[in-house]
Amino acid sequence: MSRSPSIARWALGIVCATVFAGEAAAHAGGLSGTFKPVAVPSWLVVATGGGVIGASFLLTSLVTDHAFIRGVTEWRAALPTRTTARTVAVRGVRWLSVGVLAAIVMIGSTGPSVAAANLAIVGVWAGWWAGYTMTTYLVGNTWPAVNPWRPLAGLGALLRDRVLDRPTRRYPERLGAWPSVVGLVGLVWLEVISPIAQQPRTLVGVIAGYSVVTVAGAVVYGRETWFGVVDPIARVFRWYGRVAPLQRTGRGIEFVLPGGALADGRSGADETAFVVALLWVTTYDGLVATPAWATAIRTVVGWGLPPSAVYLGTAIAGFGCFLYIYRVAARWSRRTADTYVTARYLRDWFAPALVPIAAGYHLAHFLGYFLSLSPALVAVIAQPIAPPAAIRTLVLPAWFGTLQLAFVLAGHMLAVWVAHARSFAIFPGRLAPIRSQYPFVLVMVFYTVFSMWIVGQPYTQPPYL
C-alpha cells in the first residue's frame, strides 16, 4: 500500500491505495458495492428513490403560478465577457485541442500497451468521456470551442476550395437528426463490444475512423451542417449544455437557473428520438455490467446466436422500447390533460425534460470512475511516453455509493421541474398542466427504480467480450 499525492488526498479526503492496472481499466468499476454500507435492503432503497420522485412531483404541483414559473425559468444574469479576449482564447484552445488529439493518437499507437498506463485510454475515457462531459452539463457546453475536428475540417474545407474548387453539397433535410441517432446508438454499441476501453491500438483505430468520417462529412456538407446536424458527439454535448447554468447567447454568456435553458423551444421527432437515445445509451452502458445481464446474455448466446449480434440487437431493441414507452406516455397525457393538442406535439414538447435524467445518470456513472482514475490521468499526462510502473488509482469511500444514488435522484427531480414548467407553457389554467404530467411521472418513478437498481449492482464484466 502506498500513499497518493497529498494534493489529491487533501482535496478529496479520500484514502488512496495502489490498484493493479487491469482493475483500473475495468469500465465503470467504481460503482460496485453501492449498497454495502447501508443495512437497509436494496429493494427498499430503490423503492424509496421511486417514492422521492413521486413526492417531488406532488410538491412541484403546489407551485401553480404561471408568472412565477416563467420568472424562474426565464431568469437570466449576463456575465461580462470581452469579445476580443474570447476570440483569441477560443482560437488558441482550438489548436491546442488538435495537439491533444494528435498526442492521444501518437501515444495510443506507440505508447505502453497497458490500458491504465496509456494516455489514449485514460485520456479519452477518464479525461474526456467522464471528466469533460461532466463540465458540459455542470458548467456549460464548450465543445464547439474545443472540438478538435472543427479546425481539421476547416483545413479540409480550405483544400476543397483551393484544389478541387467544388461547393458543399446540400444536406438532405428529411434526414434531420436521424443520422446522429444511428451514430449515437452505434458508437455506444461499439464501445460496449469492442476493447476500446482496454486496448490503446483499437481505440486509435476507432478515433481514426471517426476522424475520417467526420472531416470528410464536414468537407462535403459544410462544417456548420455537419457539427450542427449530423455529428452525434456534438449533439450530445449541445443537449447536455442546455442543462448547464452557463449559456451562450447572441449577446454573450448568460447565467441561468438549473433547467432554465431547457424550459422553452420545440424540436422535431428526430430530436425527440435523439434525446430518448441519449437516455437509453446511458442506461445500456450500465445495464451490460450487471450480473442479471450476464446471466441473460449467456442464456441467449447458448441458443446459438453470435454475441455481437445479441449486443447490437439489444441496443436497438432497448432504444425502441424506450421510445415506445415514451410515446405511450405522451398519448396518455393527451387524455389526462383533456386536450386537443396532438400526442406527437406533446412528445416533442416534453422531450427536453428527459435530458437532466441522462445527465444525472452520467454523473452517477462516471464521477466515481473519473475520481478513481484521476491520479492515473495526472501520471500519464506528466509522463506520457514512460509512465510510472505502478499506476495509482483512488479507492472511493463507501458513502460514495449513496452520493451516486443522490445524483440519479437529482437528475430526475430537475426533469420533474422542467416538465412542470413546460406543461404550464402549453396548457391553460393550473389543473390541466399538472394532470398532463401524470403519465410521465408514473413512467419516471419506474425508470428511477430501474436506474437506481442498475447503479446499485456490483460491476460484472459483460460476457463474450
Partner 1 sequence: MTDPSIADSSATPDGASVPDTAIPDAETPAAQCPYCSRPFRTEQACTLHLGDAHGETWTDDERAAYEAAVDDESDDLFVFHLKVVGALSLLYAVYVLAYMIVLGLQG
Q: Where are the alpha helices (DSSP H) in 169-306?
A: 178-193, 200-221, 223-225, 232-241, 269-287, 291-302
Q: Between residue 16 and residue 45, which ones bind partner 1 under the rule CB under 8 A? A: 39-41, 44
Binding residue (CB under 8 A) for partner 1 from 27, 150, 242, 362: 242
Beta strand pairing status for 76-79 and 252-256? antiparallel
Termini Cα distance of the chain? 31
Would you say 59 or 328 has its CB closer to partner 1? 59
Q: Residue 156 CB, nearest distance to partner 1 (Å)?
A: 11
* Per CB under 8 A, 238 contacts partner 1: yes
Would you say 222 or 439 has its CB closer to partner 1? 222
3-state secondary structure of 1: coil
**Exposed / middle / buried, residue 279 (Cβ in 10 Å: 0-12, 13-18, 19+):** buried
Binding residue (CB under 8 A) for partner 1 from 16, 28, 126, 177: 177
Mask: binding to partner 1, 41-60, rule CB under 8 A, as x and -? x--x--xx--x--xx--xx-
* Per CB under 8 A, 345 contacts partner 1: yes
Q: Residue 145 CB, nearest distance to partner 1 (Å)?
A: 15
176 phi-psi bin (left φ>0, alpha ψ -120 to 50, beta other): left
* Per CB under 8 A, 66 contacts partner 1: yes
* Distance in angstroms (rounded) separating the CA atoms of residues 88 and 274: 33
* Distance in angstroms (rounded) separating the CA atoms of residues 327 and 176: 20
Q: Residue 212 CB, nearest distance to partner 1 (Å)?
A: 19
* Distance in angstroms (rounded) separating the CA atoms of residues 48 and 278: 25
Q: Between residue 361 and residue 420, which ones bind partner 1 under the rule CB under 8 A? A: none
**DSSP code string of 342-374:** -HHHHHHHHGGGGHHHHHHHHHHHHHHHHHHHH
Q: Kindly report the three-state secondary structure assignment for every residue of 59-106.
A: HHCCCCCHHHHHHHHHCEEEECCCHHHHHHHHHHHHHHHHHHHHHHHH
Q: Residue 461 CB, nearest distance to partner 1 (Å)?
A: 32
| 105-113, 208-216, 228-236, 379-387 -> range binding partner 1 (CB under 8 A) | 228-236
Binding residue (CB under 8 A) for partner 1 from 18, 32, 61, 109: 61
Q: Between residue 248 and residue 287, which ones bind partner 1 under the rule CB under 8 A? A: 263-268, 270-271
Q: Which residues bind partner 1 (CB under 8 A)?
A: 39-41, 44, 47-48, 51, 54-55, 58-59, 61-62, 64, 66, 157, 168, 170-171, 173, 176-177, 221-225, 228-229, 235, 238-239, 242, 263-268, 270-271, 338-342, 344-345, 349, 425-426, 428-432, 434
